[in-house]
Amino acid sequence: MKGLFLILAMLAGSQNPPSANTPRGDPQNGKMLFMKYGCFECHGREGQGSNATGPRLNQNPITYPRFVAYIRKPSGEMPPYTAKVVTDQQAADLYAFLQSLPKPPAVDSIPLLKQ
């Protein structure tokens, strides 16, 4: 299974999520898991990211296969989430949650960010 994801990740190779390779996930359950499995700890509850801990996940798409490959065997600092901890279906739910995150307000609409 994992091998398949890696191959798909290599094939996909683009930043845009190809919908055909993305299993159906439940964003509501994904939201719950995002908290339960501690993703929020480094990436923020809204997936906003932090320079100090983890990159922004909101509006920062990678393909589903690359997503799964990364959480299983992260090449960076992230702790690995093996299938013993996050099942494939849960990974799909988490992915669906990240896809569902709303865009932030336009920066120019926020006066406090113009100071």
Partner 1 sequence: MAKSRRFSAGRRKFLKGAAVAGAATLATPGKPAVAAPTRRVTTPLQDPRAETGTPPEVEVLTADHCGSDFMVDVIKSLDIEYFCANPGSSFRALHESIVNYGGNQKPEFITCCHEESSVAMAHAYSKIEGKPIGVMAHGTVGLQHAAMAIYNAYCDRVPMFIVVGNSLDATQRRPGVEWEHSVQDAASMVRDFVKWDDTPISLGHFAESAARAYKIAMTPPMEPVLLVADSDLQERPLSEKEKLRVQKVTRTSPPQGDSGAVAEAAKLLVAAQNPVIIADRAARTPAGMKYLIELAETLQAPVLDQGGRMNFPSRHRLNLSGRGRPLIAEADVILGLELTDFWGTVNAYRDQLERTSRRITKPGTKLISITAGDLYIKANYQDFERYPEIDLAMAADAEATLPALIEAVKKLITPDRKSAFQARGAKLAAAHEAAVEQARKEAAYGWDASPISTARMSAELWAQIKNEDWSLVSNGASGWPQRLWNFDKYYQQIGGSGGAGVGYGAPASVGGALANRKYGRLSVSIQNDGDLMYAPGVLWTAAHHRIPLLSVMHNNRAYHQEVMHLQRMGNRHNRGIDRAYIGTTIEDPNIDYAKLAQSMGWFAEGPITDPKDLGPAIKRALAAVKHGEPALVDVVSQPR
Q: Which of 28, 36, 87, 89 binds partner 1 (CB under 8 A)?
A: 36
Please report how close the Cβ of residue 58 comes to partner 1 at its closest, in angstroms. 5
Please report how close the Cβ of residue 56 comes to partner 1 at its closest, in angstroms. 6
Nearer to partner 1, 20 or 106 (CB): 106
Give, as ranges, the residues between 56 and 75 that touch partner 1 (CB under 8 A).
Answer: 56, 58-59
**Amino acid, single-letter form, for residue 104:** P
Separation between Cα atoms, residue 72 and residue 87, nearest integer Å: 10
User: Could you say whether residue 19 binds partner 1 (CB under 8 A)?
Assistant: no
Nearer to partner 1, 23 or 36 (CB): 36
How far is the CA of 27 from the CAs of 30, 33, 49, 95, 107, in angstroms?
Answer: 5, 10, 19, 8, 26
Task: Find the radius of gyration of the CA atoms of the chain.
Answer: 15
Please report how close the Cβ of residue 69 comes to partner 1 at its closest, in angstroms. 16
Residue 6 is encoded by which pair of tokens?
């890696």
Applying CB under 8 A, which residues contact partner 1?
36-38, 40-42, 44-53, 56, 58-59, 76-77, 79-82, 84-85, 104-107, 110, 112-115
